[in-house]
Structure 1
């Protein structure tokens, strides 16, 4: 059995058959509301659809899941099917013992076993798959549930925050290519250190998730409006988790940190890639006009005139969004790579892995101790959350080291100060679905190191910067007060 995924754009642009055109196939997929990413299972010999797997894939499309999620779900079920074939058995008629063997392979026997959390998500999908077959009358009963029964423990958030020294070492030495003593390292061969340092400062200064800051567009940061913008607020939605809209505040120092990249590196990258982008002109969304006040973007996509609200543009559309400039076609994304378009997840992963290897190699007795685990971009979001929460608490109540008293204070906030409760402010700034998620940060705010006391003074931007988290906190308080009026 082979696994494919629906891709209407690919069909429209590259299908060339005397029987059916690419436009006709794309139109049929649109007419049937088959979302891109929908898994399609085909027989190895006949290349005909395999049922009931294709019907299950269609049900996922109807659920309006993200393209990446659809693909992940398809791969999981294809993996279970392959496991059954290797055992000489069938996926549809799998028994509980078959699935227990599969679970053991995934969690114990394979080269890199998955943990309880990953297996729990996979097991829930397998349960849903067999539940679907039962609901459709394909099965009379399903295998027993495959989640970790009896001993399953609720996983806590893996909160990893950075000290001031760790962050500067990560950013300047790992990403920026400096020596630990802040001098220039002539042997550094990194291609875009200003971009990576700017990305780190943007992530740390805003608390955005990777998909949010990595896909930000130039107009969203006020770049190109015709005058200098020191700080900016914009909306994220399509690239936010669960599509939950929220406002993002970018402080002045994060904007200043990006200037080095926008002035020194990005123009050269854009110029080098303009000719390549021109060759792929028909595959891109070419912007003709940007209305900065309304947030609308006008342009041509697939030969049609289109209008989008920037906050409603998903990551895939943002990546192919370009505009005509004096050098030719240029991506509208803030961060671009050698190809001229925004880097994908694998690229950002490669950047941080290279930074980690460099930090380990350069570590000496004068560098800060490195974390036990290799750092993640998401650690910057956790650091933002802890620092903002700690700062807001101190501004509201001063020092109160007793952890029990602090939690009692938060319960009081929840009933009497809903709009100005530090915990809820941070929850809204991060876009958490529930304050309970943010609540897990509380145990860490009791143990913040002494050099956290200045609340990010000098973290973002160059050494000696006067900006602190007071700027971010003041904006957050002001916004909450306006919203409560």
Structure 2
């Protein structure tokens, strides 16, 4: 073996069967890890020599690394594995890397002759950020004298001094199109996810096995602005109860959010499609799984007994033990192991299920969206989408709607508008909260780019152009930044 291997800690790991006492003491592993400050979901890198470097464990349990979101940690750890393997095959340990080694690695990853899996500049930027973090922590802990990631300093126009990695990619250019108009979204959803023909007619050859699931997930994300992981790990108990409101408030659990839990808002129409999926396609998948006895075969499942008004989840283990935790504390793995008792037997507590009836991994939505965009392209359509594009689109729609509501529908004068903002915050601040951003500047600079320089106030106060599909289509025509269906 000449490669490093990556594993993850987990407090809820079940001890595998073994002979001759090979795994004696496994049952107390979680307690010992906790005593040592090792966190659940912490990466473990095993060298080709079969050893775990305690210094790497120190790095991964440090607050510098642990405070990163679960998604970031899961992205960074594989970067370490492949870079350490590259070093090992050069006869070097991870702590012996030099700037020259990193330059060779960058050349191989981006341009290496014979490398069939070269990466893009944006992917290299993520890998470089991962390596910079690890070696910065290692230097703080005095495990290495210097980092192989060399930095250069430069001054921004406002006088701020910033540092950037010398090997930072120069060819990173994200797609200009980050938003969809409502009609572009509907066309992409109906054709790509729903199997309709481009003229709006039903496709008789469409198998239609998962269209209710896929379209309802897309509607929910497009309506609420939830991130892929946030929307993809929802529990049935976390869905707002439908009444007669236009929008409903729900909660994003802290453990599955990027930084912190927050309140999100979803439209009645979007939640109604989720309810239709629950009663149709999802119910059929559950019934098939029950008939095959799949849920009874899950060895480490937890039976969710109740969720209190304070969002405390209480469950029972297969051996009869009871447990509880706040919904904010339940991570992705724990959510996928939760089941509830239904009329015909057990069923998963998570909303989104695979065709076999098992909880669906949230990362699978990326491939689902890619296939939908490929179907649209095969029919000669130029519309496409990613989960994050739907989130962008929600932010833009909300900005326009909130501005319009304040300036037109409430009939506020400039003075009244200022007093309203003093009491409730600016529209930018409101959208920032809906997206779960830490900074209002992030919302302005990244998510709502197309409204810059468009004389927004004049546009929004035009009595002949209310906030609707036509307004967003006009923005698409004028900016070239929003995907529309023409």
TM-score category by the smaller chain? Answer: 0.7 to 0.9
Flag the 1:106–1:332 CA change in 2: closer, same or farther, 3 A: same
Aligned with 1:427 (options 425, 429, 432): 432
Q: When the two structures are superposed, what TM-score results if normalisation uses the length of structure 1?
A: 0.78
Flag the 1:254–1:290 CA change in 2: closer, same or farther, 3 A: same
Residue matched to 2:480: none
2:256 is equivalent to residue 254 of structure 1: no
Residue matched to 1:221: 239
Distance 1:219 1:456 in 2: 33
Residue matched to 1:7: 9
Q: When the two structures are superposed, what TM-score results if normalisation uses the length of structure 2?
A: 0.78
Residue matched to 2:193: 175
Contact map agreement 2:45 2:52 (CA 8 A) in 1: yes
2:210 is equivalent to residue 200 of structure 1: no
Residue matched to 2:26: 22
Flag the 1:22–1:68 CA change in 2: closer, same or farther, 3 A: farther
Query: Which moved further from structure 2: 136-145 or 316-325?
Result: 136-145
Aligned with 2:52 (options 45, 49, 52): 49
2:105 is equivalent to residue 102 of structure 1: yes
- Spell out the pairing of 1:269-284 with structure 2 (5 A cutoff): 269-274=285-290, 275-284=292-301
2:313 is equivalent to residue 297 of structure 1: yes
Contact map agreement 1:427 1:434 (CA 8 A) in 2: yes
2:388 is equivalent to residue 378 of structure 1: yes
Deviation at 1:294, TM superposition (A): 3.0
Aligned with 1:235 (options 245, 251, 255): 251
Secondary structure, counterpart of 2:424 in structure 1: coil
Flag the 1:220–1:137 CA change in 2: closer, same or farther, 3 A: closer
2:394 is equivalent to residue 390 of structure 1: no
Residue matched to 2:43: 39
Secondary structure, counterpart of 1:187 in structure 2: coil
Query: Which moved further from structure 2: 304-313 or 432-441?
Result: 304-313
Residue matched to 1:211: 229
Deviation at 1:174, TM superposition (A): 0.9
CA RMSD of aligned residues (A): 3.6
Contact map agreement 1:215 1:318 (CA 8 A) in 2: yes
Contact map agreement 1:61 1:70 (CA 8 A) in 2: no
Distance 1:258 1:312 in 2: 24
Contact map agreement 2:64 2:137 (CA 8 A) in 1: no
Contact map agreement 1:15 1:21 (CA 8 A) in 2: no
Residue matched to 1:470: none
Give ranges in structure 1 of 5+ residues lacking alignment.
364-368, 400-408, 460-485
1:260-308 per-position Cα deviation (integer Å, ceiling 9, x unaligned): 31222121111111244433344112112233x3333221146431223
Contact map agreement 2:10 2:30 (CA 8 A) in 1: yes
Residue matched to 1:444: 450
Aligned with 1:455 (options 462, 465, 468): 468
Distance 1:154 1:398 in 2: 43
